[in-house]
Amino acid sequence: MWFIYISLCIGILIGATSKMNKKLIKINDVITLICIFALLFVMGISIGTNKEVINNIAELGFVALIYAFLAILGSITFVYIVTEIILRGKRK
Amino acid sequence: MKMTIYIFIVVLLGILSGYYLLPNENLGSLVDITLTITIFFIGIGIGQNKHIFKKLKQAGLKILVLPIGTIIGSLLGGLLTGFVLERSLTFSLAIASGFGWYSISAGLLLPTSGAEIATIGFLANVFREMLAFLIIPFVAKKISPYSAISVGGATSMDTTLPIISQSTSEEYALISFIHGVLLSLSVPIFVQFFANL
């Protein structure tokens, strides 16, 4: 899905090169929020049409919780080790 | 927290409409289109923060240590989960690559990896954000402010930023913001890469 990157790059370029006032930034935030909700809704529909997923939702939820927990644990541990080594002394 | 509840309601409404109203529709291309438009506006928002680019230049390469640490740590956690639960390791890495950004990561997973992986990816990243709210104050106090920022993953630039800022100091809030931006930018790259392996 290369068009995702193109879309992101064009967006960043427009954002970085244009002078937007507070009102325009606010409008952009609102549009982004509406888009995210639209995306979540369409995704929900796709999930809902898949009976197998719906029937196993409790198990999938449990699996998801383990992913979340271990990803957080991994981040805490790894970041602690690297920052202690590389950024030592910079902590205030 | 309010936002999380709204998100759950919208997804639930979607699931119910998919289950009862449109059981035979294939909305794959609609997901793609919505995702592309959403990412475009998110890009504008990121580009607007011109001071990020300045700060990045000032801080130099050292500022990359933290986001790279979060990425590697999260991926290791994903791999470990894959081993423990005996699930596909590439999909595990793709799920962990959401770094807490559930909307975009699940949107990316749906067309490439199917509804089951996308559902796990969505829930895992929602849970990451919720757990982050709960444990960031503790991690900031007892372990290190950098670890506290890493818990938030991509959300350290928006939803978890207030808690990080509260539990650390203003200086760390800026680091947290830059960390979140870099993590967010890496989500599409890593999710796509692992989902297509």
CA dihedral B11, A60, B37, B191 (to 10 degrees): 160
Domain around B153: 28-195
Q: Do A16 and B53 touch (CB under 8 A)?
A: yes
The beta-carbon neighbor of B44 closest among A15, A38, A39 is A15
Chain centre distance of CA A28: 18
How distant is the Cα of A64 from the closest Cα of chain B, in angstroms? 4
Q: Is residue B79 in a domain?
A: yes
Quick check: A71 and B77 in contact, CB under 8 A?
A: yes
B59: pLDDT strictly greater than 70? yes
Residue with tokens 């059981």: B23
pLDDT value of position B67 = 96
B156: pLDDT strictly greater than 80? yes
pLDDT value of position B97 = 97
Q: Is residue B21 in a domain?
A: no
What is the tens place of the pLDDT at every residue in B105-147? 999 999 889 999 999 999 999 999 989 988 999 999 999 999 9
Q: Does B36 or B28 have the greater pLDDT score? A: B36
Q: How many residues does chain B have?
A: 197
pLDDT value of position B171 = 78
pLDDT value of position B116 = 92
Q: State whether residue A74 sits within 8 Å of chain B by CB.
A: yes
Confidence (pTM):
0.85
Largest CA distance in chain B: 54
All structural domains of chain A with their residue ranges:
19-50, 56-92
Q: What ipTM was reported for this prediction?
A: 0.88
The beta-carbon neighbor of B73 closest among A38, A68, A79 is A79
Q: Which residue of B has its CA nearest to A51?
A: B19
Whole-number Å distance between alpha carbons of B153 and B56? 18
Count how many domains chain B has: 1
Q: Do B47 and A17 touch (CB under 8 A)?
A: yes
In the predicted model, what is the mean pLDDT of residues A6-35? 89
Selected for mutation to probe chain B from A39, A59, A88 (highest B CB count within 10 Å) is A39
The percent of residues above 90 in pLDDT, for chain B, comes to: 51
How distant is the Cα of A54 from the closest Cα of chain B, in angstroms? 9
Q: Is residue B7 in a domain?
A: no
Q: Do A35 and B38 touch (CB under 8 A)?
A: yes
Q: Does A72 or B23 have the greater pLDDT score? A: A72
pLDDT value of position A90 = 54
pLDDT value of position B52 = 72
Q: Which residue of A has its CA nearest to B135?
A: A72
Chain A hits for B36, Cβ within 8 Å: 3-4, 7
B73: pLDDT strictly greater than 70? yes
How distant is the Cα of A23 from the closest Cα of chain B, in angstroms? 13
Q: What value does the mean pLDDT of chain B take?
A: 89
